[in-house]
Amino acid sequence: MKKVFFGITGAIFIALSVWLGGYFYKKSKKDPIVYKTEKPFTKTIIKKSVATGSIVPRREVQVKPQVSGIIEELYVEAGEKVTKGQMIARVRVVQNLDGKNRDLLGLNSAQSNLQNSQINYNNAKIEYDRNKRLYEQKVISQQEFNRFKLDLNVRQQAVDAAKDNLKLTQQGALQRAGNIANSVYSTVDGILLDVPVRVGSSVIERNNFNEGTTIAVVADMNNLVFEGKIDESEVGKIKEGMDLGLTIGAIENKVFKAKLEYISPKGKTEEGAIKFDIRAKLLLNEKDKLRAGYSANADIVLAKKVNVLAIKEKLLQFEKSKTKGGKDKPYVEVEVSKQKFKRVDLKTGISDGINIEVVKGVKKTDKIKVPPQKKPKK
């Protein structure tokens, strides 16, 4: 009985050991990795650089008064069309003692300048006459005599200029003394972008000491430009004459055409980065209606390839260069049989950041291995 018992127990132990061994072997064996594949395709690839900025009129004029005073009448509102010479406001003149004092100082300065110029001319005339006699007596050379002749001409021109300056100064003083018009006119054709004053507002004339008060801002809205900034890493890739595609946040599902016409030769530091100013002319249709100040992004077309063989950039793998400063060598793995792949070196062209042109290496029918994506390090 004991032999039978031990025999049965041993058989059960052996069977259990075999079962457990097989179970743990299957648990420890990993499932084979099945790689996905993708085929090359035909696509138009556009390589772009992006700049941010806004839409502004090429010409924007600030209309300022010729006299200081108070706005008595306003004849226009923002948004209206105006023509050159159209009256937009009337100013009630306020006596300006400082202005009168400046006129008096200007007159005194102009008169003093004329007197000094006349004295210099008289002295030059005396020297000229004396040396003319010496030249006629052949005491001095032609070259030396010409020097005195030239000096006399210069002094005469200085006298004429001083007379003109005095005349203009006198006319300006007379006008500002009471003959100047107190009406304000638009100096250009365009649209009124802003009228920052109201009836009763005080305004200051524009002169050499201050910019004066802006009564209206007029711009030609038929001639708009994109003004933006581009990073220093991109500025070397662009040049004047390149095409731009503008997307405006306020206008959905439409891209406006523009032509790059200016790149600043000097960068500016903004938020720790070097930026370069650029400007592009908008190529608008008659139906296009844009407003000044719209924010916009510009896609600058650096290169374009139409209907070329391409693959997704994620399919690329790289062999590190063995030389310092050399470029890594791109390649892909092409399926030769089920889940069996071989390396194929590639020659690539332009990229749009997602798709890349394949110049040489694979065919449209090839199945390319999708390499596992590396998880970012925490």
Domain harbouring 338, CATH code: 2.40.420
Which of 94, 71, 74 is closest to 86 using CA atoms? 74
Q: What angle do CA 34, 40, 46 make, to 5 degrees?
A: 130
Note the Cα 3 to chain centre separation in Å.
99
Does the pLDDT value for residue 356 go beyond 80?
A: yes
Whether pLDDT at 179 is above 90: no
What letter would DSSP give residue 29? S
Q: Could you tell me if residue 298 is inside a domain?
A: yes
Q: How confident is the model at residue 279 (pLDDT cuts 50, 70, 90)?
A: very high
Report the pLDDT value the prediction gives residue 258, as an integer from 0 to 100. Answer: 92
Q: Is residue 257 part of a domain?
A: yes
Q: Above 70 in pLDDT, residue 352?
A: yes
For residues 102 and 73, what is the distance between their CA atoms, to the nearest angstrom? 28
Task: Kindly tell me if the per-residue pLDDT of 61 is higher than 70.
Answer: yes
* Rounded CA separation 280/285 (Å): 16
pLDDT at 167: 79
Alpha-carbon distance of 45 to 304, in angstroms, equals 6
Mean pLDDT across 188-211: 86
Q: Which pTM was predicted?
A: 0.56
**One domain for residues 342 and 283:** no
Length reported for the chain: 378
Mean pLDDT calculated for residue range 61-67: 87
pLDDT band (50, 70, 90) for residue 127: confident
More confident call, 206 vs 263: 263
Domain that holds residue 283: 49-58+221-303
Domain end point (choices 274, 303, 332) = 303
pLDDT, residue 205, reads: 82
Is residue 279, in this structure, part of any structural domain at all? yes
In this structure, the answer to whether residues 54 and 168 fall within a common structural domain is no
Same domain? For 365 and 341 the reply is yes
Does residue 5 fall inside a structural domain?
no
